[in-house]
Structure formats: structure tokens, C-alpha cells
Amino acid sequence: MAILNVSGLSKSFGIDTILENVNFLIEEKDKIGLIGINGSGKSTLLKILAGKIPYDSGNIYMEKNLKIGYLSQDAKFESHKTINQALSSIFKELQIQESNLRKLEKLMSSPDVYQDEKQLENLMHQYSALFEEFKSMGGFEVESRIRGVIRGLGFDDENVPISTLSGGQKTRLALGRVLLQSPDLLLLDEPTNYLDLESIQWLEAFLKDYNKAVLIVSHDRYFLDKVVNKIFDLENGSITVYDGNYSYFINKKHAMMKVLKKHEENRQKEIERLQKNIETFISHRKYSQAESRRKRLEELLPKSVIKHSRADINMRFNVHESSGKEVLHIEDLSFSYGRKNILDSLNIKVYRGERIGIIGPNGIGKSTLLKLLAGELEPQEGSIRFGHNVCPVYFDQEQQDLSPDATILEEVYNSAPGLTLTEIRTFLGRLLFTGDEVEKQIKVLSGGEKSRVALAKAILQGANLLLLDEPTNHLDILSKENLEEALQSFKGTIIAVSHDRYFLSKIATRIWEFDKGGIADYNGNFEYYLEKKSELNKEITPEKRENKTQLKKAKLQERKERERKRQFQKRLKQLEENILKKEEELEKLEYMLCEPEVYSNPEKAQEVNIRYNQILTDLEDLYEMLDEQEEL
């Protein structure tokens, strides 16, 4: 059943038409990926559906009382509350109901009430109705749902004040709030921004199990493949609907583009034939025949069957000089920020032609390693040695090396002094900077535009070692695919930090997984890494040490850790079983309190109330013990 129907929707900003005659339906359990190049109007469409901005014309029909949840790209939850308080505040109505239940329980257990049969019966009826409403609204599941979201989105401490969180963490918290509201239609604009791999995988599982509708704007193609069953392709202001995930869509679209290209070739041949016919008829003074051909030509000329995309970037990374076989040798490398250990005695080698993907949780030190390799940080211990003729270039995800007051043209020209201004302008045109856009100052550019400028600088320097920190951030899907194609044909060596699993699966021939103080080295592509992780049951392989004494100590520590985890799991399981038993007993007592033979008997009612309050106390103690275990 359709919960939302959009017909003839149009939206313009000044003279720029963003959406034109957009039509689509959303069914009650649809999982939809909304894709398109940057600036195509994806975020605008979500804002319109969420009621944040008006539209110019068309109609939006919504199911009565449709509850919509909306997450913008830059959503941040500002508050001086803690994480737990911010998420718990969503359930104010349930909290009030629970408080009223506790008050009724206290009233019913007082001697004045349970000795007054009429008053007790009245209170029990109130309690029974409120209890059923509280249960049907999921009141008993609130704490577990909140705890699940906190864990899933990577928050270690739920009592941290929100005022101390980073911008990315606040965006994650805003996502958690939207998910917990359980709307009929979730509108998510780039929900995987600021999430590490584990959190993205948790979000995938959450959305796959979500039994309501979801419309997602995302450039994470791996994520789209896992979650969505329908694609809305927004191009040139209108939407084309494809059933299936992203991979199905891209195969279908490529096949369709081949057909359209063939039609376009045939059209061009027909145009050339008609033009020759017209010239021939005119030369023979057969004007009526020439006029009929001209009319046919006029019909063909404006009707190109292929819509050219602005995002078709024809980029190639040129290598000025090949490096030696051994590109990089890292020996006993250590680095820390204060007491926070980032790298500990790292030993690793890199060889020419390898394409290494670096993965791991946020804040663990991936970008720090690239900065060490780029020379922006100095090793505290150990050494980094580059091989013969190695020429590295560093792509910084924050684009800190860009000069804010320089124009795009100046910034790129300064990094490639061997090229003329005309050559630079031509190249920037391939990166979507056309005409006067090259005169824009860096400080006024969007994140995606800055990313393209930094890519231009990296491409034109002719380096044979690319150090890339989240190169696909801020790029739309088609731009990512063009970048991947360029990197696949690159003749040098690549070391790239990325959370983009689709990018990693297409580029990487070797995976480095960061752990605290070390790196697990998987000598294979991303699929190989996933297989090995599955085989090892997600246990990280310790880095091999040449020192046998250290190896023995590491193995002993590993056995101790496994035993500690086993004991922890055993205690956790026992606690959860005890909690379950107590909750079941509590539910039975709640039903007993609603039974006439109990509340009509003051002594029996008092006995049940005493037992009920004891179970509540026991449960509080068990929950506290559970929280203590989870903090270990």
C-alpha cells in the first residue's frame, strides 16, 4: 500500500530548475536508495518531503497521520544533557506512563487503599488499562532499544555530556534519535557519514530489519547493495525508478545506455543522410522534396536520446617516473599522542604496484599513519624509508594544504608548473569546473568541490605513490566510479584510508586493519579480508614478532584474554538469564494484581505487592551488575 504519492513535483532556486515534473510512489515497507550527482537535488527533495522547504508546483499525497523522521547531512543534536538523557527524552510519554504505574503500585500497596475494596478495585482497573497501553507501546523495550543504538553507533560511555562531543559524534547522536522514533517513513541524508565500518554494518542490519519505509540518500554503494530494494535515479531534474539494489541498477543502466548510444549513432547517421539529401535535392531544384527532408531533419535535430552527465570525469593519474621494486620500509615505528598509543613497533614493507586499503575504527590512527608517511608528522621511534625514485603525494581528507585565498586555477597551477593555463583549464573542465568557476576562491567552495581540487593537484603532480585519506568523501557515485577507474589503471603504488567498502572491493589488493598499537596485514583483496575475518571469528591476528620471547608473552596474554572473555561471557549469560526470569516473574505479578481474587483480598494484595517491589529491587541490582560487566 502506498503511504506517499508524489506527482508533477517541481522546484527552482532563482533561474535554476532543480526538480521538474517528479513522480513516484513509496510503499509502506519500501527500502529506497535515492542517487544522483552532487547538486542534482537529492537533499532538496528530502527537505521538501520532510516539510522543511516549500515546493513550487505539483502534489504530495500522504497517508493520514503519516509520521516522518528526517536526518539531514549536517544534523547535530545540541544540548547539555548526556547521550543517554538525549535518547531517553524521546520516550517522555512512556516515562510518564511508567511513573504513573509506579505511583499506582505504591498507592495499591498502602494499608489505607487495600483495606478499601471499592477504591482498590478502581485503582486496579486504572492500573490494568495503563499497563496494557504501556506494554503495547513498547514501554518494556525502551532501555534495551536505547542501549542497542548507543552500542551500535559506537558510543563507549552513555553518560558523556553532549557538549563535549565532536561534530561527527553529534551527527551520529542525531541519527540515533531519528532511528529510535520509529517513524513510518525514514528520510536519511547520508546516514553513514561519520560512521566507522562496525557502525555502518550495525546500521545496515537495523534498516534491513526495519518494518517501515526508508528513503536514503547515500554515496555508499556497498551500503545501498545491502539495504535497499529499489533505486530512485535523480538525473536532469526527474526520477527514474529501478527495482533492485545498486548493483542491479548500475548493470541495468549501463545496458540501457548502450541501447541509447546505439540509437544516438543511428540518429546521427540519419541526420547526415537527410542533410546530404537536402543538398542534392536543392542542387537539382527539387524544392518540395528538399522541404519534406528538412521537416524530418528539424524533428531529429533537437531530440538527443542520450543525456550527458556532468559527473563524467575523465581523469587519469600519470606517473612521471617509475619507482624501484621496494617502495616503502617501515621499521619499529612508534607514535603516540600523550598516553594514547597509536603505533607500537610497527614493521612492514610495501612493494611497487600494491594497492593497500587501510581500515579500522574512527580515531584509531589511520590518518596519523598517512601523515607520518607524508612527512607531516615525525616518528617518535623507528624509521620510515622510501625506496629508489619513490615520489609520494598526499591527499588530505580535510584539504588543509589548500590555500583559502587562492582561486581554483591558481591552486592547481601552482602544483603543476609544467602545464600551461589553457591545459589546466581544460583539465579542470573534466573535473566539472567550467568557465568562470575556476576563478572561485578555495574558501567559498563546498566540501565536494574542495575534494575535487585536491584530487586535481594529486593527479597532475605525476607521483608514483599515492597516499589517499578518504578520497571518496564528498564525491557523488558517478565521480567515485570515475576515480576508481583511474586508480585501477594507475601504474604506481596506492595506500588509501577508506570506509568506502565498495571502493575497497574495487581497488585494494592488500588490506591493513588497524588495531590498538598495531596492524593486521591481509595479503589479499577486500573480499579475502572479509573471508579471513569470518574464519577467525572476528579475532584479530596478532602481528608476528621476530623476538621469540615476545611471541611467547603475546600468546600467553592472548590465552589469558580468551579465558577472561569466556568468563565474562559466562557471567553475562547468567546475568541475562536471571534478568529474564525476574522480568517474567514481574509480569506474572502484574497480571495477578489485576485479578479480582487478588485485589479484592487485602492480605493477598499486600503479599503480592511486597513480592512485586522485591522483584523490582532485584532487577535494579541485576541491571546495575550488567552495566558494570559491560563497562569492563
Q: Contact at 8 Å (CB) between 48 and 9?
A: yes
C-alpha 310/C-alpha 41 separation (Å) is 14
- Model confidence pLDDT, tens digit, residues 527-542: 899 888 878 755 544 4
Q: Strand, coil or helix: what is 334? A: strand
Domain end, chosen from 520, 544, 568, is at 544
C-alpha 366/C-alpha 513 separation (Å) is 9
Residue 61 inside a domain? The answer is yes
Are residue 451 and residue 577 in the same domain, yes or no? no
- For the chain, what is the domain count? 4
* pLDDT of amino acid 76: 67
C-alpha 108/C-alpha 103 separation (Å) is 9
Q: Is the pLDDT of residue 555 over 70?
A: no
SS3 content of the chain, % helix, strand, coil (to 5): 50, 20, 30
Domain end, chosen from 525, 544, 563, is at 544
Are residue 382 and residue 451 in the same domain, yes or no? yes
Q: How far is CA 69 from CA 53, 72, 144, 162, 175, in A?
A: 15, 10, 21, 21, 10
Which 3-state string (H, E, C) describes 123-176? HHHHHHHHHHHHHHCCHHHHHHHHHHHHHHCCCCCCCCEHHHCCHHHHHHHHHH
- Average pLDDT score, the chain: 82
Are residue 336 and residue 278 in the same domain, yes or no? no
Are residue 65 and residue 7 in the same domain, yes or no? yes
Are residue 428 and residue 288 in the same domain, yes or no? no
Domain end, chosen from 544, 570, 586, is at 544
Apex 385 CA angle, 382 and 389, nearest 5 = 175
- Segment of 290-299, 396-405, 497-506 carrying the highest mean pLDDT: 497-506
Are residue 353 and residue 495 in the same domain, yes or no? yes
Q: Does this model's pTM top 0.85?
A: no
Q: Is the pLDDT of residue 349 over 60?
A: yes
C-alpha 601/C-alpha 599 separation (Å) is 5
Q: Strand, coil or helix: what is 239? A: strand
- Residue written as grid cell 584510508: 497
Q: Contact at 8 Å (CB) between 94 and 137?
A: yes
Are residue 487 and residue 624 in the same domain, yes or no? no
Give the mean model confidence (pLDDT) for residues 405-416.
Answer: 87
* pLDDT of amino acid 302: 61
- Model confidence pLDDT, tens digit, residues 126-144: 888 888 888 887 788 788 8
C-alpha 97/C-alpha 191 separation (Å) is 32
Give the mean model confidence (pLDDT) for residues 474-493.
Answer: 81
User: Of the ranges 8-22, 133-147, 237-251, 594-608, which one carries the lowest mean pLDDT score?
Assistant: 594-608
Q: Contact at 8 Å (CB) between 178 and 70?
A: yes
Q: Is the pLDDT of residue 475 over 70?
A: yes
Residue 85 inside a domain? The answer is no
Nearest residue to 8 via CA among 214, 207, 187, 239? 239
Residue 362 inside a domain? The answer is yes
Are residue 528 and residue 625 in the same domain, yes or no? no
User: Of the ranges 137-141, 210-214, 474-478, which one carries the lowest mean pLDDT score?
Assistant: 474-478
Are residue 193 and residue 296 in the same domain, yes or no? no
* pLDDT of amino acid 274: 81
Residue 436 inside a domain? The answer is yes
- Model confidence pLDDT, tens digit, residues 76-93: 666 668 888 888 888 888
Are residue 347 and residue 290 in the same domain, yes or no? no
Are residue 182 and residue 35 in the same domain, yes or no? yes
User: Of the ranges 223-232, 240-249, 295-304, 392-401, which one carries the lowest mean pLDDT score?
Assistant: 295-304
C-alpha 66/C-alpha 613 separation (Å) is 40
* pLDDT of amino acid 560: 66
C-alpha 298/C-alpha 545 separation (Å) is 75
- Segment of 471-480, 503-512, 623-632 carrying the highest mean pLDDT: 503-512
Residue 306 inside a domain? The answer is no
Residue 216 inside a domain? The answer is yes
C-alpha 550/C-alpha 554 separation (Å) is 6
Q: How is residue 580 written as a grid cell?
A: 529474564
Q: Is the pLDDT of residue 244 over 80?
A: yes
**Residue 362 burial (CB count, 10 A):** 18
Largest CA distance in the chain: 117
Nearest residue to 53 via CA among 20, 6, 2, 13? 13
Are residue 510 and residue 574 in the same domain, yes or no? no
CATH number (domain holding residue 523): 3.40.50.300
DSSP labels, 399-411:
-TTS-TTSBHHHH
Handedness of CA 177, 180, 186, 190 (dihedral sign): positive
Q: Strand, coil or helix: what is 517? A: strand
Residue 617 inside a domain? The answer is yes
Q: Which residue segment(s) compose the domain that 568 sits in?
A: 549-631
Which 3-state string (H, E, C) describes 458-509? HHHCCCCEEEEECCCCCCCHHHHHHHHHHHHCCCCEEEEECCCHHHHHHHCC
Q: How far is CA 291 from CA 42, 284, 288, in A?
A: 45, 13, 5
> Cβ-count burial of 438 within 10 angstroms (0-12 exposed, 13-18 middle, 19+ buried)?
buried
* pLDDT of amino acid 155: 82
Q: How is residue 78 written as a grid cell?
A: 545540541
Q: How is residue 412 written as a grid cell?
A: 592547481
Residue 365 inside a domain? The answer is yes
* pLDDT of amino acid 291: 83
